[in-house]
């Protein structure tokens, strides 16, 4: 079983673990994630005709969605895991988008592209598994002046409830993934924006009430080994309370669970 293996590299782990965190493209409005979805979609306005690079493409569904929904001219989608590359190539083929989407196996720390090549680079729940200094230097190199790096969904490190859950109750695949994980902080996002880019805008989501609303069902699911189904749709009260707190007290953003961020390269 996945949890009983020893994984010596991320390439090996992600080749065997093919699950991909769903991006905003595959989530519907009117759910627990409504605010996150709205903000992520706002960041995609104006991407029509852009040439993009996706880091960590998984099964390729996000690359297909970005072309179909936002009119990107072309996407190069990369992943470190060969098995995922094969899945993504098949997804692209079924969508009839081979002319617009190229899928390659590549390490995000060594991007084999010329300088100033892409209008936008985007990723979904990937940055926590990368060496950030190496990654940001590569992204700055390949982005065109005024280009954008968009992080659609990155988990943060500052909430003690989530830290306890990750340590005590993770699913087996998550326990293995944690060995590679190094989560962002809000302070780091702002420092990276100052150091490598012309500007950064970001918004945080899910504070104490949202996490508590999910924690009980999560724990039941773990105790009964996945035999208990659970849903968090419709928990608007938790989302609304957290949103109000984050707007009124910006210092609480460091305790949030998820960030969505957009960095703009220097001209």
DSSP string across 207-248 = -HHHHHHHHHHHHHHHHTTT-S----TT-HHHHHHHHHHHHH
- pLDDT, one tens digit per residue, over 81-99 is 999 999 999 999 999 999 9
Task: Give per-residue pLDDT as tens, 104-161.
Answer: 999 999 999 999 999 999 999 899 899 999 999 999 999 999 999 999 999 999 988 8
107's tokens: 């390490």
Computed over every residue of the chain, the mean pLDDT equals 85
**Does residue 18 have a pLDDT over 70?**
no
For residue 2, the model assigns a pLDDT of: 34
For residues 42 and 198, what is the distance between their CA atoms, to the nearest angstrom?
20
**Domain spanning 2-155+183-205+259-264: CATH superfamily:** Vaccinia Virus protein VP39 (3.40.50.150)
Please report, for the chain, the start and end positions of each structural domain, with discontinuous segments joined by +. Answer: 2-155+183-205+259-264
| pLDDT exceeds 90 at position 179 | no
In angstroms, the Cα distances linking 127 to 178, 213, 231, 245 are 13, 26, 27, 26
pTM of the model: 0.86
Q: Which of 2-11, 12-21, 87-96 has the highest mean pLDDT?
A: 87-96
- The per-residue pLDDT for 12 is 75
């Amino acid at each position: 079983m996945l949890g009983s293996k020893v994984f010596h590299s991320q390439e090996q782990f992600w080749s065997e673990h093919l699950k991909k965190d769903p991006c905003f493209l595959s989530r519907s409005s009117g759910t627990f994630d409504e605010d996150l979805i709205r903000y992520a979609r706002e960041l995609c306005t104006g991407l029509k005709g852009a040439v993009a690079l996706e880091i960590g493409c998984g099964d390729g569904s996000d690359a297909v969605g970005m072309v179909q929904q936002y009119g990107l001219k072309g996407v190069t989608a990369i992943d470190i895991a060969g098995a995922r590359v094969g899945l993504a190539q098949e997804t692209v083929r079924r969508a009839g988008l081979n002319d617009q989407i190229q899928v390659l196996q590549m390490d995000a720390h060594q991007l084999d592209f010329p300088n100033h090549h892409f209008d936008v680079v985007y990723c979904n729940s990937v940055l926590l598994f990368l060496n950030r200094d190496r990654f940001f230097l590569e992204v700055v190199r390949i982005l065109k002046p005024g280009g954008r790096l968009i992080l659609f969904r990155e988990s943060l490190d500052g909430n003690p409830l989530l830290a306890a859950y990750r340590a005590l109750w993770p699913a087996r695949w998550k326990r293995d993934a944690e060995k590679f994980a190094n989560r962002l902080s809000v302070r780091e996002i702002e420092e990276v924006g100052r150091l490598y880019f012309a500007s950064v805008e970001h918004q945080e989501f899910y504070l104490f009430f949202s996490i508590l609303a999910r924690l009980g069902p999560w724990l039941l699911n773990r105790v009964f080994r996945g035999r208990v189904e659970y849903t968090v749709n419709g928990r608007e009260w938790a989302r609304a309370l957290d949103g109000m707190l984050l707007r009124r007290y910006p210092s609480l953003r460091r305790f949030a669970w998820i960030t969505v961020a957009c960095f703009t390269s220097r001209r």
